[in-house]
Structure 1
Amino acid sequence: MILTVTPNPSLDRTYEIPSLGRGGVLRATGDRVDPGGKGVNVSRAVAAAGIRTTAVLPLGGAPGALLAELLGAQGVDVTAVSIAGQTRSNISLAEPDGTLTKINAPGPELAPEESALLLETVRTHDGSPAWIACCGSLPRGLRPEWYAELVTRAHEAGARIALDTSGPALLAALPNRPDVIKPNVHELATAVGRPLATLGDVVDAARELRALGAGAVLASLGADGQLLISAEGDRYGTVPAAEIRSNVGAGDASLAGFLIAGGAGPESLASALAHGAAAVRLPGSAMPTPADLRPDAVRVTRDLPLDLPLTEPAAVRSV
């Protein structure tokens, strides 16, 4: 069983539009509403693979109730922590060429007692999860050290931790030794404080984060594939470019694939690549099913082309 924790979940509404123009009336050619939030998406992908999963979520208001209802319909068990604020709603505008414009609401502010209850709910959950995936940005009211505390409590409960966050929250959690972290290349550049232009730069940055406490680093490189740096050995994987319909949640599907396959080694990296590639071919933030995967297209190697220039060099971003 895989447990996910999403401190700032959302309802995600996606509109498919011919083109984005400011100041006019945009007529959508399609629309959908999905449960949103990085950990929520991980649970959805895990459930689509037929594996039991529970999403621990702070939920409030009508959007929170609808989010729980939608997740239940997709086979995800929900453990809700009731909050006074209202769950946020996000909007994505998807153009035919794959360009995506996102409007993310800030979300509610969690009170100290709500924050404490969320932590305690994870610690005392009785599902005996093999992995706990802690994902996404922190809502207002939670300090950057919140994930660090969650990592400690989860380890005390005997679970392994996958952490997918960025900025101060990521750096604060590293000394508490999450088992795997999943930054994208831009988040990795921000974490080490310098631009990353080649695969070798990414390898060096990932090794720095391992030295700070991460057990393994699963780095998403966009069109350039993914990199796994761990004690068991370093691996680099690629998959042929696919026609992008929407990249919302593709990284979350990738993390789900990694954990589904055990969360270590080249097989898990291959599963991560297959799930991420399948997700971009689907509309909105739809998560892939096993029928959507093309595992034969994935290539994983221990020979790292360190001089390979990144298609989109990663600059340091302010957070």
Structure 2
Amino acid sequence: MSDQSLAAVVEKERTQVALASLQQEGVYDEGRHIDEHDDGTVAIPVTDPPAQTDVLEVVRVTGETRLRTLEDHLRERGWTDAELDAAPGSWAVIGSVVLVDVVDTPRPAEVGEALLAMHGHADTVLSRQGIAGVHREPSVEVIAGEGDTHTVHREHGTTYALDLAEVMFSPGNKAERAHMGEVVDDGERVLDMFAGIGYFTLPMARGGAHVTAVEHNSTAFQYLVENVVGNEVSDRVETYRADCRDVVARGIEAADPFAFERVLMGYYDAYEYLDRALDALEAGGTIHMHEATPTAELPDRPVDRLHAAAERNDRQVTGYDLREIKGYSEGVSHVVVDATVK
């Protein structure tokens, strides 16, 4: 591309908000990259001058030297075809941080620098090294940039503040987060048993539901509270830092026991908590049970576990739908069972 194109200049810290606004306005140019402009600002490509988004200025930029793919950037750095075959094929941009797997990649620092060149609003690249422990805590390594792992991510109008070195964030669950914000009814009572930083709590609350959000991890809970305030849903979210089973038990023993129309179990071993989930679910309510299941055992394993728990608790599953969210690992799928229980 040798002609000049338009770009909207904004402060770097406003990139995510401005980008969401430009997308909504319909003027964001997805065919070009966001680039650094001056110190503290970025240039977001646009097809027309924005009329509704607050920007510093609209400038014309020459795109003839722009490198468009990771392969282009790495070839510029002298990578061979064999090395390019081992380069990562995908990555995720979470706010100002790029997450990438570079386990078998040569010269990961150069990959990180190339990704920063491609995503002008990002300032840190992290190599994902896995998730471990009951609290699903991430292991990451800074391979390029400033090394600031705290960021603010925005998707579908919801804002998530988080530290990617302390708490997990799954880019592959983006559609499911949006889906949960759409299925709830206004005023519906929801229990989120594994709330994390508010992955599903926030979209559901923004969708009008009243959510009881429970999280045991102290760091994730701090971000949960911060995100509830930041998304202005404090009047619709009640937070507990506790084991979700204890919260349900206290609710059952209360003078005015709670009963939820919907229970969300966003945890791969959620089936171990089904008895308490059913205790909290009112008759005819809906339960959403997440699970990482070997593909060969679908749909039987998660569905059988749900039926067995219902039978133990004198309940009955009257209908269900099983959805695959994403691949979890080789031969294993992340699925959700949406079930109605009377």
The two structures have a TM-score, normalised by structure 2, of 0.30
Choose between structure 1 and 2 for higher RCO, CA contacts under 8 A separated by at least 6 residues.
Answer: 1
- Of structures 1 and 2, the larger Rg is shown by 2
State the TM-score, normalized to the length of structure 1. Answer: 0.32
